[in-house]
Amino acid sequence: MLKVTLRQTKPIALDVNLHCNNGDILALVGPSGAGKSTVLRCIAGLHSSKTGQISCADHKWFDSETKTNLKPQQRRIGMVFQHYALFPHLTVFDNIRLAFSKQQQKNLDKVDDLLARVHLTGLAQRYPHQLSGGQQQRVAIARALAREPDVLLLDEPFSAVDRVTRRKLYLELNSLRRSLDMPIVLVTHDLDEAAMLADTMAVIHHGKTLQQGTPEQLMYQPDNVAVAKQVDVRNLFEGQIIKLDDRYQLRWHDITLELGPKEAIDHTQNVAWIISPAKVILHQRVRPSRGEQENPVTGQIVEMLTLRGITTVLVAVAEANNLVIQMDVSQHVAERNSLEKGQQITMSIIASAIHIMKK
């Protein structure tokens, strides 16, 4: 397991707590300049924070109290940079071979084994400029694995390739990681990429870890409004908790919403709340459902957008001061119900999917 604690106020403020199990991918997400790459550099030993600890498999790499600070070459780190940093004058074979120790460099079969693992068999004698962006990235991964690292660090590894190639590389990384019994730390600004690949995500903002958890926890149950904004929650509103007949309810302007089973919430507390667009359920004219009795809300469609079979419907709710709530339905459902801009519709806000946060 990799454990990271970093603290400093300058030159870059850091207040970081992270952990990653062997075989897991931890994605560091946050806006540009949040400190994600600085954290990666600290793990690699390329930068040191004022205070903190970094350990891997119970081996201390950095400890400010005991003044332990191993050099990068002592940490057995495999690192893939954003632009791969391949030597342009060396072949694929030699780019990988240079990462071996002097004793291992004589074992030429090992290069072939690594090329096979990253699906580059037969390309050993090519130069980087003769490869596609995706192939260069595979070489960079093979070179990182040549060191037999204890931790694999990926710094925006997919940003330099087109979307079609990126999707293929996602599948390859997902397949490769099953054979890697080591923590993998991925820095990315792409939330969809992080949610697709990572076992856990950590939101970093202004050098501080706001929350670490599974993609589902961060997307649907963020700890606070700051995290919700960083993971681009689409339905984020304010409301007030009220109590009626020993039941807690949520007052949203002129609408009262039932809540699912929750921990005790302070009475009359002002809160922020979110709900996934997938948990806002359309009342279908062609096929009514029993769920229509659960928190029904009426509004007017102000915009619609369809992407890859999912139609996002933006609905202005008059009783909520014309705030706009987003609902995702399949394109088939949108067409079958003849949804169009300007139409009045009714939807249900599923009680168990409402997530309450303190403001």
Residues forming a β-bridge with 3: 19, 55
Q: How do the domains of the chain map onto residue ranges?
A: 2-230, 279-349
Cis-peptide, bond into residue 11, ω within 30° of zero: yes
Instruction: Say what the pLDDT of residue 292 is.
Output: 58
pLDDT higher than threshold 80 for residue 3:
yes
pLDDT for the residue numbered 305: 95
CA dist., res. 118 & res. 251, Å (int): 54
pLDDT per residue as tens digits for the range 198-215? 999 999 999 999 999 999
Q: What is the pTM of this model?
A: 0.88
Confidence bin at 237 (pLDDT 50/70/90): very high
> H or E stretch including 145?
helix 133-146
Top CATH class of 279-349 equals: mainly beta
Q: What is the mean pLDDT of the chain?
A: 89
Determine the average pLDDT of the residues in 68-96: 89
> What is the Cα–Cα distance from 341 to 335, expressed in whole angstroms?
13
Q: How confident is the model at residue 109 (pLDDT cuts 50, 70, 90)?
A: confident
pLDDT in tens, 17-59: 999 999 999 999 998 888 999 999 999 999 999 999 999 988 9
Extract the tokens encoding 45.
């030993």
Interatomic CA distance for residues 146 and 326, integer angstroms: 47
36: nearest Cα among 76, 63, 64, 4: 4
Q: What are phi and psi of 114, to 5 degrees?
A: -65, -40
The stretch 226-254 carries a mean pLDDT of 91
- What local confidence, expressed as pLDDT, does residue 105 receive? 58
Percent of the chain with pLDDT strictly greater than 90: 64
CA distance 5 to 25: 18
324: CB partners within 8 A, 6+ apart? 302, 314, 315, 316, 317
Q: Integer distance in angstroms from the first to the last C-alpha of the chain?
A: 34
Higher pLDDT, 196 or 290: 196
Answer yes or no: are the C-beta atoms of 51 and 63 closer than 8 Å: no
Instruction: State the pLDDT confidence band at 291, using cuts at 50, 70 and 90.
Output: low
CATH of domain 2-230: 3.40.50.300
b/e string for 93-113 if b means 16 or more Cβ within 10 A?
Answer: bebbbebbeeeeeeeeebbbe
